[in-house]
Amino acid sequence: MKQEIREELNKVLEETTKLSFPFLANDEKKKKSLTEIHQRIDDEIESCLEKADRQRFEGEKAEIWEKADKGARNEFETLPGKLKMNSFYLQEVMHRYVEATIEFLTEGE
């Protein structure tokens, strides 16, 4: 993977540390926001990639997401249900997702 692509993906990774849900959002709004942020992150990742890498990513992104989501949920499993969907979870799941995507795209380099 080209160095400039790696740098762009690292910027996306860094952005995940600043994510948050809308203030006083209920669980429904948080879930909608999570979906929208996930899509935005996917779009940002894909815009960084060359065509061949975009196709590879497209084929694996659902599995990468599932692993990231499962890992983040495990981190917050001790919290009561209503408290699990918080901005720390959002940052964690998106950070794991981008990190796993970078790892997937750079394996074998």
The predicted-structure confidence for 11-36, as pLDDT tens digits, reads as follows: 999 999 999 999 889 999 999 999 99
| Domain locations along the chain | 3-13+27-106
At 50, which helix (H) or strand (E)?
none
Please report where in the chains the tokens 């762009």 appear, as a residue: 8
pLDDT digits (tens, 9 = 90+) for 46-101: 988 887 788 888 889 999 999 999 999 999 888 887 788 899 999 999 999 999 99
Instruction: Read off the tokens for 8.
Output: 């762009």
Give the per-residue pLDDT at 62: 95
Give the per-residue pLDDT at 85: 84
What is the pTM (predicted TM-score) of this model? 0.82
Please report which confidence band the pLDDT of residue 109 belongs to, taking 50, 70 and 90 as the band edges.
low
